[in-house]
Structure 1
Amino acid sequence: MNILVVEDDPFIRDMAVTELEEAGHEVMEAASGGQALRLLQTGIAVDALLTDIRMPEANGWEVARAYRQRFPDLPVVYVTGYAEQLQPVPGGIVISKPYRMAQLVDLLNALRGEG
């Protein structure tokens, strides 16, 4: 599965990328919502989106909406360390930081029917 990880905290992003790659996934990464939106404009294809909510340039809600326009059934997992006003795309799942990487891998696999 090709997963895009959008996270502005480099430690969390690196940890997520490493764990997802070790679980057998292809992983791309973006350090901001704006970078994720620019990647989308390049025509990349993704099977799942893992995005932080509070980020520079564009928040996770905006990123998910943009990706869902191109990939209507895209599984989206939002991660946040804050109490958010929830506005996930339909079918999106919100998990709170800190989270266990194994929990994230299991969740993404289940969303794609691989669990």
Structure 2
Amino acid sequence: RGFVVFHAKFAENYRLYSRSHFVKGIELMILLIVYEIFGQPYRSPVAYILITVSMWFMVGTWLFAPFLFNPSGFEWQKIVDDWTDWNKWISNRGGIGVPPEKSWESWWEEEQEHLRYSG
């Protein structure tokens, strides 16, 4: 069997990498912005950059790696198709019998289901 390469749609990438990449990347980005705003005011911008450059690099890799390593991820037609698919996924209402692949509400309910039975 040969090497199989396929393009994953944006909504599927989001579902797969939400917890491991996107949530952590956005949280770290917010923390870095808060650190910049409320950090010690005597530090110069150069010190801030030197202290946080590796963390900003990690934010960038967490947020963009799932798209960078997606085959044909930067082909214009695939971007347009992914955007259309993403809009459908976001705008569809969830509910009983709606699979997570069709609605973000159903996906979110499935992601949070373990919290209902813990504690």
TM-score (norm 1): 0.22
Higher relative contact order (CA 8 A, sep 6+): 2
TM-score by length of 2: 0.22
Indicate the structure with greater strand content: 1
Q: Which has the higher helix share?
A: 2
